[in-house]
Chains A and B, each alone.
Chain A
């Protein structure tokens, strides 16, 4: 059996400009948990050892490095921990299908606002919220991980495009900040 080496989509690259840092992050395993009809109780039991439960719409929760993210009706992603065996849900490994980008800094919100059609200011999008929305034309899961920090989950096949868009917006926001009016 050959030893296969897992490689991330963007080789863990990072960039800091104008007080904004963009970096690819490794969130560990990603497992989709999609409830089957009547499966809620069994899934609650299955998640219990992790101290987590199925999240409310538009939210995520964390416990000891494991994170559960709402991704749709009766559906969530478990990241950062192996998924316990459970009944009541369709459980699929999604780890190699996604890339995760972390965007942080005081102006991170301005960078996102250039691509995302929802209000991402702190008052409208507080820490602990997770949305399914778009980054330009790409479907993403967007998490508010801190007052000045976001995580963006994007299909791995679009990782380079997502990076390109965010890098361009970071440059534009930094350039605008440098203009004296």
Chain B
């Protein structure tokens, strides 16, 4: 598996650390209902198809990356930097 880091270019999987679902980018606002926090912390989809998750370019540029990939075909359709991205 390879990821094309927007800064470093195409790199081997061993350079990256997997963090988890994209959900971590959508932190509930302060005072949000408990159900929202529960969902943010614990509830994850497990799609057969397109999914988005966070990877860290640990052995490269140290950027957090948002990766869109397909769990069925293993196709990686985009790798974006989390930094500077519009929410």
Contact A73 B7 (CB under 8 A): yes
Chain A residues at the B interface, C-beta cutoff of 8 Å: 57-58, 72-73, 117-118, 131-134, 139
Q: Which residue of A lies closest to B62 (CB)?
A: A72
Contact B62 A133 (CB under 8 A): no
A111 to chain B, nearest CB (A): 18
- Chain B residues, CB < 8 A from A118: 11-12
Taking A57-B8, A73-B83 as contacts, is the C-beta distance between A134 and B61 under 8 angstroms? Answer: no
Interface on chain B toward A: helix, strand, loop, or mixed SS? loop
Evaluate contact between A73 and B63: CB separation under 8 angstroms.
yes
Query: With an 8 A cutoff between CB atoms, is B60 at the interface?
Result: yes
Residues in chain B within 8 A of chain A (CB atoms): 7-9, 11-12, 14-15, 58-63, 81, 83
Q: Which residues of B contact A72 (CB under 8 A)?
A: 7, 61-63
Cα–Cα distance between A73 and B14 once the two chains are bound (Å): 20
Across the interface, do B14 and A117 meet the contact criterion of CB distance under 8 Å? Answer: yes
In the complex, how many angstroms separate the beta carbon of A123 from the nearest chain B beta carbon? 14
B7 engages A57 (CB within 8 Å): yes
What are 29 residue pairs bridging A and B, where the CB atoms are less than 8 Å apart in the complex? A57-B7, A57-B8, A57-B61, A58-B8, A72-B7, A72-B61, A72-B62, A72-B63, A73-B7, A73-B61, A73-B63, A73-B83, A117-B11, A117-B12, A117-B15, A118-B11, A118-B12, A131-B8, A131-B60, A132-B61, A133-B8, A133-B11, A133-B15, A133-B59, A134-B14, A134-B15, A134-B59, A139-B58, A139-B59
